[in-house]
Amino acid sequence: MLTLGVASLALYPEWVARLREETGIDPEYQADGILYLALTDAEERALASRARWQRRAGFAVERIDAGTVYVLEPGLRRGVRSAVRFPDDHRLDNVRLTRAAVLAARRDGVEIRSGVSVRALDVDGGRVRGVATASGRIAAGAVVNAAGAWAAGLAPPQRTVPVRPVRGQMVVLTLPRPPFAHAIYSTAVYLVPRRDGRVLAGSTYEEAGFDKRVTGEALGRIVARALRLAPALADATFTAAWAGLRPGTPDNLPILGRDPDVDGLFYATGHYRNGILLAPITARAVAALVLGRRTSYDLRPFAVDRFGPS
């Protein structure tokens, strides 16, 4: 998983630059690192352990004392014990990225049918023939199950695709300008600043099925934790809140590659919390398989048959 994530991260600068040039939409890709805070002795020990294994893996890690934390981010609460900065971690605006990708795809001739649900696979004689949708059948020589949290409902009869929804609720608070120079992470809450002054605060991890409601309890908890960590947000305007459904799997690893029993069926799902990170590597690897080419990435750990038959 680490190898796959690092390879995907390396694809981002070129991909984002191409999208920006082709569409005029800037996904706001920022390679300025992420700041992880330690507020207790236990958190400090856990963060030191994380820093050690990341250094052994060859990543840049910067240990930062409390005084330097407040020089970097004066809007944080007092009482931070220390922090670690991971300069190799990057961030972007996922909404702008999606809009740019959709526009680029359409300009390349891709037809996107929004609001049309896929109800079932059309499988005959051990080969996929297309899909049945709410507006009729679509014939296809290859089908990629990229249905996210809904992927389990599009499994062939002999296959288990154990993807489930894991709800995550988010809150957006807005100030006239970005209050932080970094994305800020702690064990209680994370805060991701956007260039226009918005700050995304999150998130929850809830086994709530396909319920996408924003709940008062979660909303209050996220805001309270955000304000405790960053008093600079006290005068921020509440802008939005939403809930999304992460596609989780039993081992928290994605499902990638071809179906071993159904010709022409492929998987690109189960990414859980790493969908944005793994987007370019998933696209490149699965597209190669669909076209009958070899891929240089080892997808065996992510094969669908690791979960056994239906």
For residue 232, tell me if it sits in a domain. no
Phi then psi dihedrals of residue 40, to 5 deg: -135, 170
User: What element of type H or E holds 198?
Assistant: strand 198-202
- Give residue 165's pLDDT: 98
- Give residue 32's pLDDT: 87
- Residue 148 and residue 274 in contact, taking contact as beta carbons nearer than 8 Å: no
For residue 2, tell me if it sits in a domain. no
- Give residue 39's pLDDT: 95
Q: Are residues 83 and 43 in the same domain?
A: yes
For residue 223, tell me if it sits in a domain. no
pLDDT tens digit at each of 310 positions of the chain:
999 999 999 999 999 999 999 999 999 999 889 999 999 999 999 999 999 999 998 999 999 999 999 999 999 999 999 999 999 899 999 999 999 999 999 999 999 999 999 999 999 999 999 999 999 999 999 999 999 999 999 999 888 999 999 999 999 999 999 999 999 999 999 999 999 999 999 999 999 999 999 999 999 999 999 999 999 999 999 999 999 999 999 999 999 999 999 999 999 999 999 999 999 999 999 999 999 999 989 999 999 999 987 6
- Residue 146 and residue 265 in contact, taking contact as beta carbons nearer than 8 Å: no
DSSP 247-281: EE-TTS--EEEE-SSSBTEEEEE--TT-HHHHHHH
What CATH code is carried by the domain that includes residue 145? 3.50.50.60
Report the domain count for the chain.
Answer: 2
Q: Sheet harboring 82-86: ordered strands across?
A: 62-65, 82-86, 34-38, 183-185, 190-193, 198-202, 164-174, 237-248
For residue 224, tell me if it sits in a domain. no
For residue 7, tell me if it sits in a domain. no
Q: What is the pTM of this model?
A: 0.94
- Distance, CA of 247 to CA of 204 (rounded, Å): 14
- Give residue 286's pLDDT: 97
Q: Are residues 155 and 258 in the same domain?
A: yes
Other C-beta atoms lying within 10 Å of the C-beta of residue 12: 20
Residues of the domain holding 262: 113-163+251-307
